[in-house]
Amino acid sequence: MPEDTENPPQEAPPDAAPETAPEDAAPAADEQPPDGLPPNEVAVEDAGTLRKKVTVTVPRERIDAKFEELFGELGRSAQVPGFRIGRAPRRLVERRFGKEVAEDVRNGVIGEALGDALKQADLNVLGEPDIKLDEIELPEAGALVFDFEVEVPPEFDLPDYKGLEVKRPVMEITPERIDEAIDGYREQYGILKPVDAPAARGDMVIADVDLSGDGVAFAQANVELRVAPAQVEGVLLEDLTEALSGKTAGQRVQMKATVPTGHPNEAWRGKDVTVRLDVKDVKRLEMPAFDDAFADKMGFASAEEARREIRRRFESRLELEQTRYMRSQVGRFFMDHVTLDLPEGMIERHTARLLQRRVVDLMMRGVPREQIEQNIEQLQAEASKEALDELKLTFILSKVAEAEGVEVEDAEINARIASMARQHKRRPERLRQEMESEGTLETLTVALREEKAIDHVLATANIKDVVGGQDAGDEAEDGKAKPAKRATRKKKKKAGASRKKS
């Protein structure tokens, strides 16, 4: 299942697959309108992939009845010069307010006919009808004929998913892993100190940097460089670890690199450059000892309590990652075994939303707008693919939820909102109000229903534990598992940021 589920399609798929709409639908004899007026006539035809054109004919009797209703209401409240309120002759009221009433009649008749037409044609639709109201004119005589288009859900069959084989990565939380996590905390409180020793992986090197090449010239003194792959002025130095390892103050490092084609400076793009680094100092991180005093800084009563809590967090993260990975396998199974069409309009709308979100994310990360625009076609293609996958899986899981009788209770929604509120230090009731006003509460409900649908599949799955070793490593990497190692890497990144500030 795509993780971008934190962001699902705005148009929630229906709870049930639609019946095939008849090409010409009309109300049954025992379904005559309760007002005693002639019923509307409804005809349905295909208008594209999962798109229907609905043509409605409203008899004159219904139009005239709406005029009578509105003029009757207006006659009791209209102000006409020379007459008391409600006393003006009907012909004067019609002459004075005829144009406005005719527009209200048109809107009222069409509004009533829309819902009746969809029910009459037995159409289960997505989103709102595409109707060009301003182009519809009310005839002076005879019936009103208008049409609109709607998107309908795809029809497809689910594969047999009972007893599906699902792999669960099982990873041992060893003392070494706990030590790695503790080192991550220690690094956050570490101090970089100059050392009279060759630079080693992870050390910090202070160097004067010079980039030169065809049309490329850049120089800067006292640049902090980690003995690890890094970027200098937007140029990736993949071999920086090997180049700086073993170097001491006073030595020079020279290496080759190529400026990326998406570099902000157009004159540099694609150029081969020479990078010269004059090492001036080597610094190494000195970390505090892990004892009860340090544990107190971490918020624990003792070092032993800190170890227990770190293990508990590993176990919790492992369980979460196992669930995510197993759910992703179920999603991939359905994506591989279900073929369905998607409404073109829905694809376009969802692609546009995803593209806009990616552009905003890139801008927030500091990527220049010019660079974003140069790669817009690639971003568009990626957003289109992601939109197709997300929409397809949404429809599939909606049908699974229907088959399994899955519903989301209000208490489940409130529990998830409370969890989100704790993460962002917000009041749950306030967050729910905002989600309701923004329209994202329905999106959350759909996401929870999809999770429950997948969990119903997992409840009958044949779960195979994959323990350590090559298989577990491969599977975990593919399924974004490896919880313990991921957690450690994140802590190290934070520590690295701390060292730079030092």
The pLDDT tens digits for 17-43 are 333 333 444 444 345 667 688 999 999
Average of per-residue pLDDT across 211-239 = 92
Global pTM? 0.64
The domains of the chain, with CATH numbers, are 18-151 (3.30.70.1050), 171-190+287-337+480-502 (no CATH), 192-285 (3.10.50.40), 340-388 (no CATH)
184 and 195 Cβ atoms separated by less than 8 Å: no
Residue 104's pLDDT is 87
264 pLDDT band, cuts 50/70/90, is confident
122 and 26 Cβ atoms separated by less than 8 Å: no
402-410, Cβ contacts within 8 angstroms, sequence gap of 24 or more: 402/15, 402/16, 402/17, 403/158, 404/453, 404/456, 406/449, 406/452, 406/453, 406/456, 407/449, 408/445, 408/448, 408/449, 408/452
At residue 463, φ and ψ (nearest 5 deg) are -90, 125
Question: Range with the lowest mean pLDDT among 126-140, 228-242, 475-489?
Answer: 475-489
Residue 488's pLDDT is 34
Tokens of 447: 């996401």
Between 95 and 461, the more confident residue is: 461
- Does the structure show a pLDDT above 60 at 136? yes
Residue 409's pLDDT is 94
How far apart, in Å, are the Cα atoms of 33 and each of 38, 40, 43, 120, 201? 7, 9, 18, 11, 81
Residue 31's pLDDT is 58
- Does the structure show a pLDDT above 70 at 97? yes
134 pLDDT band, cuts 50/70/90, is confident
Residue 94's pLDDT is 67
Question: Range with the lowest mean pLDDT among 15-29, 66-80, 231-245, 337-351?
Answer: 15-29
pLDDT tens, position by position, 32-72 = 667 688 999 999 999 888 999 999 999 999 998 988 888 77
Hey, what's the torsion of the CAs at 416, 420, 422, 424, to 10 degrees?
A: -170
Average of per-residue pLDDT across 269-284 = 94
Between 195 and 30, the more confident residue is: 195
Average of per-residue pLDDT across 85-110 = 77
Secondary structure class of 129 (helix, strand, coil): strand
For the chain, the first-to-last Cα distance in angstroms comes to 41
What integer best gives the mean pLDDT of the chain? 83
251 and 279 Cβ atoms separated by less than 8 Å: yes
Q: Which of 257-266, 331-340, 372-381 has the highest mean pLDDT?
A: 331-340
Residue 432's pLDDT is 93
- Does the structure show a pLDDT above 90 at 333? yes
Question: Range with the lowest mean pLDDT among 17-31, 88-102, 309-323, 485-499?
Answer: 485-499
73 pLDDT band, cuts 50/70/90, is confident
The Cα 306–Cα 311 span in angstroms is 9
At residue 253, φ and ψ (nearest 5 deg) are -120, 135
Q: Which one-letter amino acid corresponds to residue 50? A: L
- Does the structure show a pLDDT above 60 at 499? no
- Does the structure show a pLDDT above 60 at 495? no
473 pLDDT band, cuts 50/70/90, is very low
Residue 145's pLDDT is 94
Q: What percent of the chain shows pLDDT beyond 70?
A: 83
The Cα 20–Cα 43 span in angstroms is 13
The Cα 25–Cα 42 span in angstroms is 6
Average of per-residue pLDDT across 86-111 = 78
Q: How many residues does the chain have?
A: 502
Tokens of 4: 């971008």
pLDDT tens, position by position, 342-392 = 888 888 888 998 888 888 888 877 777 788 888 888 889 999 999 999 999
How far apart, in Å, are the Cα atoms of 87 and each of 81, 90, 99? 11, 9, 20
Question: Range with the lowest mean pLDDT among 54-58, 273-277, 486-490?
Answer: 486-490
Q: What percent of the chain shows pLDDT beyond 90?
A: 52
DSSP code, position 266: G
- Does the structure show a pLDDT above 50 at 469? no
pLDDT tens, position by position, 390-448 = 999 999 999 999 999 999 999 999 999 999 999 888 899 999 999 998 888 988 999 99
